[in-house]
A and B are shown apart, each in its own frame.
Chain A
Amino acid sequence: MRRTLMAFAAITLVVGAAMWFVSIAGAQGGGTVEVEVKYGGTAQVEKLKVNKDTEKCGTEAVVEHVVVGGNKGLANAVASVPGAKGTTKAKAVIDQHGCKFVPHVTVMQPGEIEFKNSDDILHNLHTYSTANPSINKAQPKFKKTMTEKLEKPEFVKITCDVHSWMLGWVAVVPGLAGVTDSNGVAKIENVPAGKQKVEVWHETLGKQEKEVDVKAGQVTKVSFEMKGK
């Protein structure tokens, strides 16, 4: 009898705790997807000698085509969950600083993006896109910010013709998304529970996708191994 009681109490406790947990998670909107992107190949980082504006750009330019961090983690990859509608967040911002696009990869939801020029020299914002109208606008030193529209989902390359090594990417994604850090990890929070497709895109290594079962209130890990092209 006592044993039965104990079992009953335990079950009640567990179920109660589970229900409490679910209700909390539900309030938060779902679970977290932790995307880990690995790359077995070598890093591709181009170094160029700078012949102008060295006081702003430095004497050596570094172009980050493939950045591999600790434990083969691939940085600058975009992980997204197309099925999870994003909520409007703060406007995406890219700074042209030290003759680099900072950050190298920016994620935004369709809409507006702000370009800063904190270099005090001329840059020109030149985008290469097909879904969105391509942009090629000058941003001289006195034009500190410029707002542009990218309204269609697309991975948009940005360059500056004045400083040809400058390279940046804007991932216009309708769903929740993140960019992998130097360890190749991106965390996407508040993903609705259930089966979700996770997409990973990298500027030189292409695209991959996987399906994950997101559990509310839990961290679901998913790992990708990018193949060299």
Chain B
Amino acid sequence: MRLIIWASFAASLSLAAPSSVWAQAGDAAAGKGVYERKCLLCHGEKGDGNGAGAEHLVPRPRDFTKGLYKIRTTANKTPADQDVFRVISEGMPGTSMPAWGVLPERDRWNLVAYLKTFAPEQFKEAPKKLELPKEVSSSEASIKRGKEMFEAIECHKCHGSEGRADGPSRAELKDEWGQPIAPANLTKRWTFRGGATRTDIATRIAAGVLGTPMPAFLDAVEKPEDVWHLTNYIMSLGTDRPGFATLVTVGAVSGAIPDDPNAAFWKKTAPQYLPLMGQVIVDPRNFNPAIELVAVRAAYNDKEVAFHLTWDDPTESKGDGKQTFSDAISLKFPAQITAGTERPYFLMGDADEAVYLLRWEQGKGVGEASANGPAKIAPLAGGEATGAVAFANGQYRLVMKRPLAVKGEARPSFRPAQFTPVAVQAWDGGAGESGPKMSLTSWYYLRLEEPQSSRRFIIPPVVAILTLAAMILVVRTANRTR
């Protein structure tokens, strides 16, 4: 069998030879050794994507035997060697495929050569470079045209009308292997599998993503340059990468804080981004968390503290209790805030030390709870927590409020300038998350900004005037004595 593979590989090499401008010919035999050391556990000995780790991964590892490669810069189905090399070197953001740039370049080219031997038939046809239309730089007019085209070619069917992967077809999407596949969230460029540069995005639109439902659009836009208008529009939907907060600051305000999550007040407050990870310490573990980013906005006045949380979730889920559950989110604090650096166990406390949760659950609203571990959560009665939620276009916006100072052992009071431990847990019930199956952060610190008194507007001018007066006095006195 191996002989046959090698023979056909040799044949394919000799056929591919004239087009070797693309290839930095690697040595497949040497690549096999590297593959068996680095790739086999997920991609499998036969390259069929059925390695030991495969069942834990979403999306599953690539099956190389079909010769279908998602990321390619070619007009036909054969990827350029450089395309495969790049994915090996840079990995695939948003998946389990890490960047193998740590391997010597030689090894990576050898891997490219070896991967091709899994589907020699598919590589018989030489890669044909995709010619993108002439680049159009971004401008207001181009973004506007891009939005028009986005609507005309109905990108929203899968990607959602604001690009948050919440389109009506999203639940039906399957890849070439019949596995469910999620559309890209266009507001999160850092998760784009094939890179987030303008050329990467334009290439994916033009050539499609092989083995997935994403079709090629090069011949399906009104004018070829629309590919670039679409690119510019998609670039306008999000940032390259969110700057993660290290400290959550709660701004001091003097007036009332609105409950409405869509109020202008919240739009003006700067978001602080916290990354979330899957909970993998206790069963059931969550290897593929659905919610991986929460934006926190926070403010307090003399009476209450308010938290505004924003996160993406394609569906508003109340759950059927079997496959799907209620969407939920919670902010976690120690039950009492002490001066030291001791904090309760980060996984929702333990038997010795409870944590306090300010939480929201779909259908139940905002409430408070005390927890001694992920499975031991008891609602706290008699609280004054309130809030409001809004869901639109694949995004939740939530306001949770409670009085600054409270009595009792189970609830902490918030004081200005105090470093208060805080953490976030989130559940996408529609994706089957509930109980310990959640995504979470470890402890962060939260700090209520000290109230900015109006003294800073009075003292400096007063000092300036007094200094001026003193100077005039000195000058006058000096003049008189002369």
* Interface positions of A (Cβ within 8 A of B): 51-52, 121-122, 124-126, 128, 133-134, 136-143, 146, 161-164
CB within 8 Å for A137 and B152 given contacts A162-B158, A164-B174:
no
Q: Is B371 an interface residue (CB 8 A)?
A: no
Q: Do the beta carbons of A162 and B169 come within 8 Å of each other? A: yes
- B267 → A minimal CB distance (Å): 31
Task: Specify which of B77, B152, B168, B220 is in contact with A134 (CB 8 Å cutoff).
Answer: B77
Q: Which of B209-217, B328-336, B416-424 contacts A (4 or more CB under 8 A)?
A: B209-217
Q: Is B140 an interface residue (CB 8 A)?
A: no
Task: Specify which of A52, A121, A138 is in contact with B217 (CB 8 Å cutoff).
Answer: A138
Q: Is B208 an interface residue (CB 8 A)?
A: yes
Q: Is B8 an interface residue (CB 8 A)?
A: no
Chain A residues whose CB sits within 8 angstroms of the CB of B210 once the complex forms: 136
> What are 22 A-B pairs at a CB distance below 8 A?
A122-B153, A122-B154, A124-B215, A126-B213, A134-B77, A137-B216, A137-B217, A137-B220, A138-B153, A138-B208, A138-B217, A140-B154, A140-B220, A141-B152, A142-B152, A142-B222, A161-B158, A161-B174, A162-B154, A162-B158, A163-B169, A164-B172
Q: Do the beta carbons of A136 and B168 come within 8 Å of each other? A: no
Q: Do the beta carbons of A52 and B157 come within 8 Å of each other? A: yes
Q: Is B409 an interface residue (CB 8 A)?
A: no
Chain A residues whose CB sits within 8 angstroms of the CB of B125 once the complex forms: 133
- B380 → A minimal CB distance (Å): 40
Which of A121, A138, A143, A162 counts the most B-chain CB atoms under 10 A from its CB?
Answer: A138
Q: Do the beta carbons of A161 and B153 come within 8 Å of each other? A: no
Given contacts A162-B154, A164-B169, 14 further A-B pairs with CB under 8 A are A124-B215, A125-B215, A128-B176, A137-B215, A138-B153, A140-B153, A140-B221, A146-B219, A161-B158, A161-B169, A161-B173, A163-B169, A164-B173, A164-B174
Assembled-state Cα–Cα distance A133/B66 (Å): 12
Task: Specify which of B76, B153, B154, B157 is in contact with A133 (CB 8 Å cutoff).
Answer: B76
Assembled-state Cα–Cα distance A121/B151 (Å): 11
Q: Do the beta carbons of B169 and A143 come within 8 Å of each other? A: no
Q: Do the beta carbons of A51 and B152 come within 8 Å of each other? A: no
- B61 → A minimal CB distance (Å): 21
The 9 A-B residue pairs with the shortest CB-CB distance, nearest first, are A161-B213, A122-B154, A164-B172, A52-B168, A138-B220, A124-B215, A138-B215, A140-B153, A136-B215
- B118 → A minimal CB distance (Å): 15
Chain B residues whose CB sits within 8 angstroms of the CB of A124 once the complex forms: 213, 215
Assembled-state Cα–Cα distance A139/B221 (Å): 9
Q: Do the beta carbons of A52 and B215 come within 8 Å of each other? A: no
Chain A residues whose CB sits within 8 angstroms of the CB of B158 once the complex forms: 161-162
Chain B residues whose CB sits within 8 angstroms of the CB of A163 once the complex forms: 169
Chain A residues whose CB sits within 8 angstroms of the CB of B176 once the complex forms: 128
Q: Do the beta carbons of A51 and B168 come within 8 Å of each other? A: yes
Assembled-state Cα–Cα distance A99/B94 (Å): 33
Q: Do the beta carbons of B76 and A161 come within 8 Å of each other? A: no
Assembled-state Cα–Cα distance A139/B173 (Å): 17
Chain B residues whose CB sits within 8 angstroms of the CB of A137 once the complex forms: 208, 215-217, 219-220
- B54 → A minimal CB distance (Å): 22
Q: Do the beta carbons of B208 and A136 come within 8 Å of each other? A: yes
Q: Do the beta carbons of B215 and A140 come within 8 Å of each other? A: no
- B235 → A minimal CB distance (Å): 20
Q: Which chain B residues numbered 217 to 270 have a C-beta less than 8 Å away from chain A?
A: 217, 219-222
Task: Specify which of A122, A126, A139 is in contact with B157 (CB 8 Å cutoff).
Answer: A122
Chain A residues whose CB sits within 8 angstroms of the CB of B219 once the complex forms: 137, 143, 146
Assembled-state Cα–Cα distance A194/B164 (Å): 63
Which of A51, A140, A161 counts the most B-chain CB atoms under 10 A from its CB?
Answer: A161
Assembled-state Cα–Cα distance A142/B217 (Å): 13
- A147 → B minimal CB distance (Å): 10
Q: Do the beta carbons of B215 and A161 come within 8 Å of each other? A: yes
- A63 → B minimal CB distance (Å): 13
Which of A121, A143, A162 counts the most B-chain CB atoms under 10 A from its CB?
Answer: A162
**Across the two chains, which residue of chain A brings its CB closest to B155?**
A122
**Across the two chains, which residue of chain A brings its CB closest to B68?**
A134
Chain A residues whose CB sits within 8 angstroms of the CB of B76 once the complex forms: 133
Assembled-state Cα–Cα distance A128/B176 (Å): 8
Chain B residues whose CB sits within 8 angstroms of the CB of A138 once the complex forms: 153, 208, 215-217, 220
- A45 → B minimal CB distance (Å): 19
Assembled-state Cα–Cα distance A143/B217 (Å): 11
Assembled-state Cα–Cα distance A158/B425 (Å): 43
- A59 → B minimal CB distance (Å): 14
- A107 → B minimal CB distance (Å): 25
Assembled-state Cα–Cα distance A52/B173 (Å): 14
- B193 → A minimal CB distance (Å): 16
Chain A residues whose CB sits within 8 angstroms of the CB of B172 once the complex forms: 161, 164
Which of B152, B208, B220, B222 counts the most A-chain CB atoms under 10 A from its CB?
Answer: B220
Assembled-state Cα–Cα distance A163/B170 (Å): 10
